[in-house]
Each structure stands twice: as structure tokens, then as C-alpha cells.
Amino acid sequence: MRPLFLAVVLVISIVFGAVTVFAARFYRSKQLQLGAIWYGRGQAALTAGDSHAAVQDFRNALYYSHDNPAYRLSLAEALLSARHIPEAHSYLVTLWQDEPSNSTVNLQLARLAAGQGNAQAALRYYHGAIYGLWPDGDAAARRRQTRLELVHYLLGLRDATQADAELIALTSELPRTAAAHLEVGQLFQQAADSERALQEFEEALRLNPKSPVALLGAGEAAFQLARYENARRYLEQAFKSGPRDPQAAELLATTRLVLEWDPNSQGVSSWRRALRIVQAFQQARRRLQDCAAARNIDLAAASAHPSSTMPSNAASASNETSHNLVAEILGRIRHGETATPEQIPMVLDPAELQQLYQQAAEVQPRVRAAKLERDPQLAESVMGLVSRIETVTAQHCGAPQGADLALLLLAHRTEER
């Protein structure tokens, strides 16, 4: 009897244990099912823009499946959408501590830090997202998009150097599409890297030769690099391929003027070069006289009394593009920034204008085409004087127009070389 009793007890224990395990698994399965239902409802609410309902739904989902990291992340995102920033940050930090290589978590923390003005933390988390692990989706595309977001953030902080470094890293990951290279080219322009901007625009044009946006971008980048022949070619093609932009039209007109006034343009004969130097000298001398008159400066006097007000035409002398060009040349702004009229004019010692006028008067008898053609050193000296006059008058009297702007740009190119 005893063995039989023990066998019955054993069978009952096994059955009871099996029922218990089955009940526990059924309960757990039911919990997971309910959690998934609430999670689905939360996603639907978040998609519909009802972040407050999504927060409650995700809380319910976590009640049934409190260890699910996807539910916790979705709750954090819903809290962010509902502007419950401290609680969202708490969830994200906990998730990051559990999985610091999770790119999605790092990206959300980067955005939070950026919104709170913590640039150092934002940069660290952005890099964590870029070099981390993306749990879902196309990792390469997500990585590119995150780096682009970081570039826009850095440009917003006016950190062109760091933005440029991120763009350089991005170029090796770009898909072979005209749109991708065009976007990066425009960002390189904002980061004041005209050389790489031009390379990206040219790559976009290899993939889509008639893109007016890429042609215009290439023209602007070539212009900033003082490659005026290339700038003219790209800008003219841009006008043939798309609608005319007023600022681009002015840029093309300025480019043509630079090439017309440049004594060192390719294909210009020595005689024509000498004639252009004579023309440039006469133009600069007129600019000097007009500037002095506007400033109430007597160029022939030993001392002068400049007017305390700007000349009446200074504010309207040129549009925004010319103001930016001149301000950049004079070192008042960085490339890509916008100049205000106050950044262009500058009150200086009138003796500087008087000295330039005296130098021009001394050299004027020798500024003849025949002399300049025979004497390259004299030609170089005259053009140096022209450059100084255009630079100083820009400082005194604001952004020049037309031929004077062309001569100032040529002076800037000579200095860079």
C-alpha cells in the first residue's frame, strides 16, 4: 500500500506542478498580449498627434510588460511629445544606462540636450547615435540623417569648423544621387568651405547635368573661390536651365565685370592688359575723389574734417549680396553670414585718403598704355595702388558698385594668392 500511496502522491504533484506552470505561462502570455494591445493603441495615438493619450496607453503597456525596453522608449518619446521633459529625460537616461550603444536613445538625449542649450552633451549624444547601434530600420540611412541633423545644429550654433568636419566625414557615406550631393554642397557653403562645396555641386552635376540649383551653387562657390571663368560658365548655364534669381543675376553681372576689368585674364594681349590697367587707375581715382567728397574730405589739404554722417547713397549703394561680399573682404564677417550696413563703412583717418591721392597724382603722368606695356614692374605697382584705393574707399564709404566692386574683388584675389 505504501508504494502505491507514494506513486499517487507523485502523480498528483506532477499534475499540480504542470497545471501551475501552464497557469503561469497562460497568465504571462495574457499579460504580454494586453501589453501589446495597449502598446499598439499608444502608437496609434502618437501617430494621430494625441500625445497625452499615448502616454497613458504606454504606461498601461508597461504595467503588463514593465521590462520591455521598446515600451519604455516609446513612453519616453510620448512624454517628449507631451512636453513632460524631466520625466522623459529620466526614462531616457535609465535606458541609456542599460544600453549606452542604443542609437535611438542617444539621438533623443542629443535632441533634449540641444533644446536645453547643453552643446557639449548634445555633441556627445549625437556621436553616440552616429556610431552606435540602430535597433531597427536602415542603419546606414539613419546614420547619415543623424549626422545631417548634427550639422544643422552646429551651423545653428555658428560652429562652422565643427560642422565642416562632420560634413567631411559624411561625404564618404553619401548615396550616389544628385539630391544627396546637392544638399551636402549647400551645407558646405554654409560652413564656409567653398572648395568642398564646389566639389559636391560638380558631383551633383555629373549625376544631373541640367540641375539649375546645382549649377547656381557651383557658380556661387566658384565665385567665392575667385574662379571667375568657371563661375560665369556655371551661372550662365543656370539661367538657361531654370528661372532667373535676382541675386544670382547680380552675381553673374559682377562676375562678367570682374573678367572684363581683370588685366590678367587669359587670352588678353599685353597691349590690352596695359589699357585695362589705365582704365582701372582712372576708375579708382574717380572712386577716391567721390568718396572724399561724400565724406567732406579735402584731398589736397594737410588735414581734413570728415563728416559725421554717412553719404546719402551709402545705405542704398548696393544690395545685400554686395554688402556681404565687401564685409567679408574687409574681414568684418565670415563667409555665409549677412552683413548689416553698419559693418561696411568705417570712420578712418582722412590722412589715409590724402596719402593715396598724393600717390595717385605722382604716378598719373606715367600711367600710359605704352609705358605700362613696356614696364611690367610699373604695371604691377599701379594695380597695387588701385587695390589699396578700392579697399580703403570701401572702408570709408561703404560697399562699391559696378566696376569698383569688380576691382575690389580683384584686389582680394591678389591678396589671397
Q: Which tens digits make up the pLDDT trace of 352-363?
A: 899 999 999 999
Indicate the DSSP class of residue 262.
-
Q: In angstroms, rounded to a whole number, what is the distance separating the alpha carbons of residues 259 and 317?
A: 22
Q: Per-residue confidence at 254, pLDDT binned at 50, 70, 90?
A: very high
Considering only the top CATH level, what class is 174-244? mainly alpha
Nearest to 406 by CA among 287, 239, 248: 287
Q: Per-residue confidence at 2, pLDDT binned at 50, 70, 90?
A: low
The yes-or-no verdict on residue 66 having pLDDT over 80 is no
Q: In angstroms, rounded to a whole number, what is the distance separating the alpha carbons of residues 332 and 20?
A: 80
Of the CA atoms within 13 Å of residue 61, those in its CB half-sphere come to: 24
pTM of the model: 0.76
Mean pLDDT of 293-319: 55
Note the pLDDT of residue 359.
93
Note the pLDDT of residue 325.
58
Query: Which neighbouring-strand residues pair with 133?
Result: 102
Q: In angstroms, rounded to a whole number, what is the distance separating the alpha carbons of residues 61 and 68?
A: 9
Indicate the DSSP class of residue 330.
T
All three cell numbers of 52, joined, read: 497625452
Q: What value does the mean pLDDT of the chain take?
A: 81
Provide the 3-class DSSP secondary structure of residue 102: strand
Q: Which tens digits make up the pLDDT trace of 238-247?
A: 988 877 778 8
All three cell numbers of 297, joined, read: 574730405
Domains of the chain, by residue range, sit at: 174-244, 270-416
The yes-or-no verdict on residue 59 having pLDDT over 80 is no
Q: Which tens digits make up the pLDDT trace of 151-191?
A: 999 999 999 999 999 999 999 999 999 999 999 999 999 99
Residue whose C-alpha cell reads 604691377 in the numeric block: 380
Q: Per-residue confidence at 304, pLDDT binned at 50, 70, 90?
A: very low
Q: Per-residue confidence at 345, pLDDT binned at 50, 70, 90?
A: very low
Q: Which tens digits make up the pLDDT trace of 322-339?
A: 455 556 665 543 444 444
